[in-house]
Chains A and B, each alone.
Chain A
Amino acid sequence: MPTDSEEGRRIAVSLVSRAGHSPNSAQVAKAIIATLQDMDIALSPIIGRKGVVALYRRSLHLCESAYPDLIGALDSTPEHVDFSRLESLLQQQTPNDALCLGNHLLETLYQLLSTLIGVSLTERLLGAVFEAPLSALPAQDTSP
């Protein structure tokens, strides 16, 4: 699902910024989980915990073709969101692989929500989660 999109770049910048300079796998995993938790905080008051769980599980399934290991992050109880399986799975990757995987998953989730409620409303709800912190790279002018 993810493409070389604006959101993809923004999510990547956000993740790098959260993970810090030369992070190890655990730090990358922590950054990814923190981002997911922020998304959960932004969405669950509106769509409910179960709505967030459903989106998360669907995103894991969508990423399965590119990252078959990800399906291992699914737990057997679809009622609750549990990021611990994902965290331990990410910790087993190299920092770079973990970053790619996390980026792919987050972008998938973002795009999944966009297909359901539109790009602008998704941005309205989740934009703050990926807002570039002050330490991030300056915004690039992408206009031709």
Chain B
Amino acid sequence: MTTKVTINRLATGVPGLDEVLGGGLPEFSFNLIAGPPGCGKTTLAHQMMFALATPERPALFFTVLGEPPLKMLRYQQQFDFFDNEAINHSVRYVNLADDTLAGDLDEVLRRIVTEVEAYSPALVFVDSFRSVVLASQTQNNPNNNLPQFIQQLGMLMTTWQATTFLIGEYFTESDTNPIFTVADGLIWLRQSLQRNSMVRKMEIMKMRGQPTLPGLHTFRISAGGINVFAPAGLNAPAHPPQADATGVAPKRLKMGVPRLDEMLGGGLPQGYSLLVAGPSGSGKSILAATFLAQGAREGETGVIAVFEQRPNHSQNATLARLIADGKIGLVDSRSPDLSIDEIVHLLLKEIARLKATRVVIDSLSGFELALAPTFRADFRESLSRMVTALTNVGVSVLMTSELEDRYTDLRFSPYGTAFLTDAIIVQRYIEVHSRLLRIMAVVKVRASAHSDELRLYRINDDGIQIGEMLSGQEGLLGGRPTRQRGSVAAEPDRYET
């Protein structure tokens, strides 16, 4: 039996925050929430307070100089988490403005201690701590010692078994502020502004005793409060797509396009990611919709993420019907400040809701445009994380990618992302006898045999119809095939599939 202390971790009630913190908030910890004005510090504090406070474990919220309490109550109650019934019951506000104005930190500390002893709170908030710091600086009192004040406050609160939050602004990371040393946790909120989009980000710079998720995590503030988009699905895959140790090959999914399954070597292996690359109008979206419709025919559910800017996304009637019937979930976010983690979060939520097995991203080009500018530089990395997160939950993913027709080189995606996916289908236009024909080829199916043929196909009311190879021609990928020496001249009708 271990005699080591067990640190309880509190569930903060802020979606995604517990994961970023590395399993919740350590009980009796002394934390600083810092960041510039308007980044959501007070909102984060309130959301945690209302989630954690109970009549038995009440919260004390000390308002110092800064946002007047009347205004804070007025604005914070706009959030869903604000519970009027909790005020003066499990949540108490205490105004210390007068004590702070006097500039005597000893008096401020004494007031805090008096209130803490009177109410025995499990949670203590001090908003804004910056004013305490300023008050100490403007005082000509030699007894005013900020490091000592913080050290004493931290010690008292922990002894009093209160989890404490100081809310402050204008701290800079290079500061040698004593609070950084005393605090057990540093939660830093930031705003990244680029062009016309603003993205909120959170960083756990320090959280004693537990493995936090490093880096900046995007979050959004809506009527429900703060939602942190923790990086998802980076753990070991729950359903490895490849053949497992027993050597059993994964099940193959039918694509819904006659003859395409055969080209893929028997269908798309379950849990694979497939990139469909092709120029505008080559039928990528039709192939994607057919993939989902085939799933629905087999009793599977799917999710489609649409990033096109036109409002009437679904010109495919079958897809629209499946969405209306609830067999296909639609992720259709048009926020100008989307982050990759938010998209993954939305997708995973929809996948979990529908128990979906097939996912379509249509298209990567639109997805890149939908991302906030600040994330575009890391697009490849973002894409890799998304593919990993999705395939880790065991779904099969089909992504479409706009491919500018270039006949001088053979490319599969404009991002150099082809290596990220397990399988690739390329569609191209070719010119033969003054006609624009389409060809399709399976370029890659990881760990599986597949066709190496360039097949003609056409699109009619029944969808994609794959035909034969264009025999007797060569140089198809150059866009302008030439007749092979000695072969019979092909009639245009022969190209009709």
Chain A interfacial positions (CB closer than 8 Å to B): 44-51, 116-118, 120-121, 124-125
Contacts and interface: CB of A to CB of B under 8 A. Distances in A.
B97 interface: yes
B70 A121 contact: no
A78 to B, nearest CB: 15
B209 to A, nearest CB: 35
Contacts of B73: 46-47, 116-117, 121
Given A116-B70, A121-B73, A121-B77, A51 B95 contact: yes
Given A116-B74, A118-B77, A121-B77, A48 B84 contact: no
A45 B95 contact: yes
A67 to B, nearest CB: 25
B163 interface: no
Instruction: Please name the 9 residue pairs, one residue from A and one from B, whose CB atoms are nearest each other, closest first.
Output: A48-B95, A46-B93, A120-B84, A117-B73, A47-B69, A48-B97, A121-B84, A47-B70, A124-B87
A45 B93 contact: yes
Contacts of A120: 84
Contacts of B70: 47, 51, 116-117
Nearest to B68: A51
Contacts of A46: 69, 73, 93-95
Interface in B321-373: none
Interface in B291-345: none
Given A44-B95, A45-B93, A125 B68 contact: no
A32 B94 CA distance: 26
B400 interface: no
Contact of A49 (B74, B93, B98): B98
A142 to B, nearest CB: 23
A45 B94 contact: yes
Interface of B: 63, 68-70, 73-74, 77, 84-85, 87-88, 93-95, 97-98
A78 B341 CA distance: 51
Given A48-B63, A121-B73, A125-B88, 14 more contacts: A47-B69, A47-B73, A47-B93, A48-B69, A48-B95, A51-B70, A51-B95, A116-B74, A118-B74, A118-B84, A120-B84, A124-B84, A124-B85, A124-B88
A121 B87 CA distance: 8
A45 B73 CA distance: 14
A48 B98 contact: yes
Contacts of B95: 44-48, 51
B68 A117 contact: no
A51 B68 CA distance: 8
A30 B283 CA distance: 84
A48 to B, nearest CB: 4
Contacts of A116: 70, 73-74
Given A46-B93, A51-B69, A118-B77, A125 B98 contact: no
Contacts of A125: 87-88
Contacts of A48: 63, 68-69, 95, 97-98
Contacts of B97: 48, 50
Contacts of B84: 118, 120-121, 124
8 contacts: A46-B73, A46-B93, A46-B95, A50-B97, A50-B98, A121-B77, A121-B84, A125-B87
B68 A47 contact: yes
Contacts of A50: 97-98
A50 B95 CA distance: 10
Nearest to B101: A50
B178 to A, nearest CB: 27
Contacts of A118: 74, 77, 84
A117 B98 contact: no
A48 B63 CA distance: 9
A65 to B, nearest CB: 24
Contacts of B63: 48
B87 to A, nearest CB: 5
Contacts of B74: 116-118
Which among A47, A116, A118 has the greatest number of chain B C-beta atoms within 10 A?
Answer: A47
A24 B296 CA distance: 83
Contacts of B85: 124
Contacts of A121: 73, 77, 84, 87
A121 B74 CA distance: 9
A45 to B, nearest CB: 6
A52 B193 CA distance: 39
A49 B102 CA distance: 14
Nearest to A49: B98
A48 B68 CA distance: 9
A76 B94 CA distance: 28
Contacts of B98: 48-50
Contacts of A51: 68-70, 95
Contacts of A117: 70, 73-74, 77
B100 to A, nearest CB: 10
A144 to B, nearest CB: 27
Which among A49, A117, A118, A120 has the greatest number of chain B C-beta atoms within 10 A?
Answer: A117
A57 to B, nearest CB: 14
